[in-house]
Amino acid sequence: MEKYNHKKIEKKWQKRWEIDEPYKAEDFSEKEKSYLLIEFPYPSGDGLHVGHSRPYIGMDVIARKRRAEGKNVLYPIGWDAFGLPTENYALKTGIHPKEVTKKNTDTFRKQIKSLGISFDWSREINTTDPKYYKWTQWIFLQLIKKGLAYKASVAINWCLSCKIGLANEEVIGGRCERCGGETEKRQKEQWMLAIRKYAERLDKDLDDVDYIESIKIQQRNWIGKSNGAEIEFRIKNNKSRIKVFTTRPDTLFGSTYMILAPEHKLVQELKSQISNFGEIEKYIDDTKKKTEIERTAEGKEKTGVELKGVKAINPANKEEIPIYIADYVMVGYGTGAIMAVPAHDQRDFEFAKKFDLPIKMVVCPHYPAPTCPVLDEAYTNEGHLVVSGEFDGMENDEAGGKITKFVGGEMKTTYKLRDWVFSRQRYWGEPIPIIHCDKCGFVAVPEECLPVELPDIKDYKPTDSGESPLVKAEEWVNVKCPKCNRAGKRETDVMPNWAGSSWYYLRYTDSNNDKAFADEKNLKYWIPVDWYNGGMEHTTLHLLYSRFWHKFLYDIKVVPTHEPYQKRTSHGLILAEGGEKMSKSKGNVINPDEIVEIFGADALRMYEMFMGPFDQAIAWSTDNIVGVRRFLEKVWRLQEKVSDNKFDFNILLDGAIKKVGDDIEAMKFNTAVSSLMILANAYDAHKNFSKENYSILLILLAPFAPHVAEELWEKIGNKSSILKEKWPEYDISKTIVDKVQIAVQVNGKVRATVGILVDEDEESVKEKAISNDNVKKWTEDKEIKKVMYFKGKIVSIVTN
């Protein structure tokens, strides 16, 4: 017998697959379609990392199994290649981002191919290809047409070291998500996308999709839907009113002061009436230096300044109450103003304690109560209303709507989700297809002129003014206005790196189409994506943005479904041997090329599936990959035991087929691999077994270790590829075995044992216990008073 030579085998089969293209998906096939998706990689200069390959391999196992089950599988790949790291690398080395991207994608492609992943390469896409981003720009134009893209001056988070504006989601703890550097707020004209208009649907439609629960929760928190009321307060001796959003209108009688966000425009409007405006201005200045997280952190010392000289009037009890500005009230949420109810809101409570403001309890847990308790923190539970005029005695959850009506307010739903800042003042991104004209304003580039190609410029260093380096490409910038033909200027901001990934799964259905982003028929056949697996870190950004774009495309009737992805799961990270995060700076990154060289792609694949539960982070271990390699060698040696005589070995087979198949579909790859190991060991314990038996083992192994499975398949005399083999069927009745023996006690003494099935239901277990002959001896002339079953352990019978 030849030795298991992974290098020779893997090269041989990869070459064969390159020619035969067995992984090509077929548009409109009669077979059942199955669209499986992984997050396409950002081709960084560091090359593929063993962590990247884990989700690709996992989904590959599923793809291969489903093909064997006769499904028409689409499992595509491409490159999400615009973005800062490439641009920064280009700045450092002087190599153009285009070339950097080409080189990096070539490396990634080669590495991925060396793992034998069954991607349909004929549909490969690249977000930086003008043929692709033409359609990213086209979608932007449709958003403009529907009024969902607009320009606004907004306070953006400015990263001081990247010199780039960041969306709120890209700032983590006040720092830049990319470089970890400091950020500050800057006022800037930006293109915005009105994702808020879709907030309700983005929240509600999560009911219709099969995402793991933690992803739904994260999305819902991010959208931050909140039901409450808007109520207006009058200002004494002034026509202006202060509108607040509150989730607790039932507590209105307890509002003893109000707070405006420091940026609230009323603060400026009331200036002439305010006697301490200098102090106010200073506080506003101080607030600018703080991040939102600093401002709203729980338990943080409360600060604020009273607007001296103005008072508001509580519309419920007509009391005059003071007005403050304080940084814990945010201008972008609700109405940017609150009615403070210190007795029932903890932040207001802390503020009231500090500024010695009245704390008036209006919801009380004991009613009727002689006096309300003195609070040492806000009371946030249920109760009956007190000191609330005609509403006294009412249960508080009933009172909210009534009090709102009483003061002429209205019920209202708000969302935390902000509109999406869509401009970046950088070079390596999709140009925003807009021309500025002094006369006509912002004019959309006509669709027939797309794509607006990113010009090749030499100097793409960020400018100090904060404008995009594209301003320096004068020839490109100066164009005629498409409307009036006078001198105009191109928009120089580019799109954020989330743009190209917001619709890429649609392009895979028809990636070479140059008349549309995809043909209607292809979309109708393939969409929605049946299963999308990706990182937990993309739950609130990419996943939400692409759901938004999809819903918009659905509304303009160019995609057939209202959700893009039917199912979403997540994988865990691979950590370094010591359990730390792998990173270049720590020098602990494992390069898959080396592993493939030494152990083979099949061993790497199998190990990554075996190392631990797929959805959990796990540390790499080179020792453990050795064990997996030995297993493959065992399967290799088993070829010698295949014999012609019809010895059928089927004790474990049905169970193994069921277990491996079910586990693959549940992404329990690690237990699927252990079943394969148990099966191979059982084979090994026999002197001989039939070719049929060995064939089943190989077919089950093929999704995990496709190269060696193909080779062995050929070795036992098959002419066609194992990829053409059908996934084996099993006999369900043979997969159930009496597995557990449990004891039966009668009046506290063990009198018998009975065999039961692992999942046997309680009634049937009790029945077995009572009817057991040894048990009967002890219960014969007695009355059975009680039978208890402690699942999987013991049955206890009590008699009189």
Query: Which residues lie near Zn ion (CB under 5 A)?
Result: 437, 439-440, 481, 483-484
Shortest Å, Cβ 348 to ligand ANZ: 7
Smaller CB separation from ligand ANZ, 240 or 681:
240
Say how far apart CA 338 and CA 324 lie, in whole Å.
10
Residue 330 interacts with ligand ANZ (CB under 6 A): yes or no: yes
User: Of 40, 333, 422, 498, which one interacts with ligand ANZ (CB under 6 A)?
Assistant: 333
Contact 61, 75 (CB under 8 A): no
Smaller CB separation from ligand ANZ, 360 or 472:
360
Contact 48, 112 (CB under 8 A): yes
Say how far apart CA 221 and CA 202 lie, in whole Å.
12
Query: What is the SS3 assignment for 153?
Result: strand
Say how far apart CA 325 and CA 310 lie, in whole Å.
12
Sheet strands (E) in 218-377: 226-235, 241-246, 257-260, 305-313, 320-325, 337-340, 363-364
Q: What are phi and psi of 559, to 5 degrees?
A: -130, 150
Structural tokens at position 455: 């010009």
Residue 338 interacts with ligand ANZ (CB under 6 A): yes or no: yes
Choices 287-295, 336-344, 368-376, 561-569 (CB under 6 A): range interacting with ligand ANZ = 336-344
Shortest Å, Cβ 367 to ligand ANZ: 17
Choices 116-124, 341-349, 633-641, 704-712 (CB under 6 A): range interacting with ligand ANZ = 341-349
What residue 440 binds from ligand ANZ, Zn ion, none (CB within 5 to 8 A, per partner kind)?
Answer: Zn ion
CA distances from 289 to 282, 355, 458, 594 (A): 12, 23, 36, 49
Smaller CB separation from Zn ion, 440 or 787:
440
Q: Which residues contact 465 (CB under 8 A, 6 or more apart)?
A: none
Residue 245 interacts with ligand ANZ (CB under 6 A): yes or no: yes
By CB under 6 A, how many residues form the interface with ligand ANZ?
A: 17
What residue 481 binds from ligand ANZ, Zn ion, none (CB within 5 to 8 A, per partner kind)?
Answer: Zn ion
Residue 388 interacts with ligand ANZ (CB under 6 A): yes or no: no
What residue 437 binds from Zn ion, ligand ANZ, none (CB within 5 to 8 A, per partner kind)?
Answer: Zn ion
Closest CA to 40 of 424, 428, 533: 533
Residue 248 interacts with ligand ANZ (CB under 6 A): yes or no: yes
DSSP 182: B
Q: Which residues contact 209 (CB under 8 A, 6 or more apart)?
A: 563, 565, 566, 567, 568
Choices 2-10, 23-31, 247-255, 604-612 (CB under 6 A): range interacting with ligand ANZ = 247-255
Residue 258 interacts with ligand ANZ (CB under 6 A): yes or no: no
Sheet strands (E) in 292-341: 305-313, 320-325, 337-340
Residue 144 interacts with ligand ANZ (CB under 6 A): yes or no: no
Residue 291 interacts with ligand ANZ (CB under 6 A): yes or no: no
Give the chain's radius of gyration (CA, Å).
33
Smaller CB separation from Zn ion, 70 or 446:
446
What residue 711 binds from Zn ion, ligand ANZ, none (CB within 5 to 8 A, per partner kind)?
Answer: none
Torsion over CA: 149, 150, 155, 159 (sign): positive
Residue 786 has, within 13 A of its CA and on its CB side, a CA count of 7
Shortest Å, Cβ 334 to ligand ANZ: 3
User: Of 78, 116, 304, 334, which one interacts with ligand ANZ (CB under 6 A)?
Assistant: 334
What residue 329 binds from ligand ANZ, Zn ion, none (CB within 5 to 8 A, per partner kind)?
Answer: ligand ANZ
Contact 506, 523 (CB under 8 A): yes
Scanning residues 185 to 244, which ones bind ligand ANZ (CB under 6 A)?
226
Smaller CB separation from Zn ion, 437 or 797:
437
Residue 344 interacts with ligand ANZ (CB under 6 A): yes or no: yes
What residue 439 binds from Zn ion, ligand ANZ, none (CB within 5 to 8 A, per partner kind)?
Answer: Zn ion
Smaller CB separation from ligand ANZ, 36 or 154:
154
Contact 211, 534 (CB under 8 A): no
Residue 86 interacts with ligand ANZ (CB under 6 A): yes or no: no
Shortest Å, Cβ 142 to Zn ion: 21
Choices 172-180, 184-192, 334-342, 728-736 (CB under 6 A): range interacting with ligand ANZ = 334-342
Shortest Å, Cβ 247 to ligand ANZ: 4
Shortest Å, Cβ 296 to ligand ANZ: 7
Q: Which positions from 345 to 364 touch ligand ANZ by CB under 6 A, shown as an x/- string? A: x-------------------
Residue 251 interacts with ligand ANZ (CB under 6 A): yes or no: yes
Residue type, 728: P
Buried b (16+ CB within 10 A) or exposed e, 70-92: ebbbbbbbbbbbbbbbbbbbbbe
Report the interhelical angle of 601-610 vs 6-20 (nearest 10°).
90
Contact 300, 294 (CB under 8 A): yes
Contact 82, 128 (CB under 8 A): yes
User: Of 339, 364, 454, 603, which one interacts with ligand ANZ (CB under 6 A)?
Assistant: 339
Choices 333-341, 352-360, 454-462, 635-643 (CB under 6 A): range interacting with ligand ANZ = 333-341
Say how far apart CA 738 and CA 272 lie, in whole Å.
87
Shortest Å, Cβ 231 to ligand ANZ: 9
Shortest Å, Cβ 341 to ligand ANZ: 4
What residue 127 binds from ligand ANZ, Zn ion, none (CB within 5 to 8 A, per partner kind)?
Answer: none
Residue 329 interacts with ligand ANZ (CB under 6 A): yes or no: yes
Q: Which H/E stretch holds residue 552?
A: helix 542-555
Smaller CB separation from ligand ANZ, 330 or 619:
330
Q: What are phi and psi of 619, to 5 degrees?
A: -85, 140
Other Cβ atoms within 10 Å of 627 Cβ, number = 13
Q: Which residues contact 763 (CB under 8 A, 6 or more apart)?
A: none
Choices 325-333, 403-411, 595-603, 641-649 (CB under 6 A): range interacting with ligand ANZ = 325-333
Residue 407 interacts with ligand ANZ (CB under 6 A): yes or no: no
Torsion over CA: 437, 442, 443, 447 (sign): positive
Smaller CB separation from Zn ion, 12 or 483:
483
Smaller CB separation from ligand ANZ, 345 or 510:
345
Residue 417 interacts with ligand ANZ (CB under 6 A): yes or no: no
Q: Which residues are near ligand ANZ by CB under 6 A?
A: 226, 245-248, 251, 261, 329-330, 333-334, 336, 338-339, 341, 344-345
